[in-house]
Structure 1
Amino acid sequence: MTIHTYTDLPLVDRAAFELACARHGFAPIHFDVHGESDPDDPEHGEFVIVRRGAWAQAYRIDARGQWLRQFETDLNGRFFSSAPHA
């Protein structure tokens, strides 16, 4: 799966990302989202990199959508809130 923007996410992940953003007063456009292969295991590991301003976080993609729960945890903890809009 090649992810260049959040619209390249699988439909279920994209909808969950949009909802998480909305619950915290953001729009998906406030974030730069792209995918990268795990440099230690490029055949089996992928990450979603979410960036807002100078702040970025990498989330490992799995079949259970754990990365979305981790993203929302970061939103709850205001990790991205102090960053200027991208």
Structure 2
Amino acid sequence: MDTILLRYTDLPIGERAAFELVCARHGFAPAHFDVTATIDAQDPAQSQRLVTVRRGGWAQSYREGSTGHWVREFETDLNCRFFK
């Protein structure tokens, strides 16, 4: 399966804004994280994205169920101090 790699700046503006707000609420800046997403190159319109957030030696991937859902899961991980 071929995949397309998306960088943070390739994500929809609404998701980036939500991510930035979550980061600010927890004392981080978006620059503290490396955010990438992959989608199926064969059918990008139908495939779910896999969004991966990295910080230091930690990484977590979120399967996109609905638009922006990964941001809520990311905030849950911040609440649990996964990335600290």
When normalised by structure 1's length, the TM-score is 0.78
- Alpha-carbon RMSD: 1.9
CA contact (8 A) 2:5 2:39 kept: no
Aligned residues: 77
Please list, as runs of the form range in 1=range in 2, the aligned pairs for 1:24-63 lying within 5 A after superposition: 24-37=26-39, 43=43, 44-63=47-66
Provide structure 1 residue ranges, at least 5 long, that are not aligned to the other structure: 82-86
Structure 1 stretches of 4+ moved >3 Å: none
State the one-letter code of the partner of 2:37: G
How far did 1:8 drift? 1.8
Partner of 1:71: 74
What secondary structure sits across from 1:57 in the alignment?
strand
**Percent identical:** 60
When normalised by structure 2's length, the TM-score is 0.80
Provide structure 2 residue ranges, at least 5 long, that are not aligned to the other structure: none
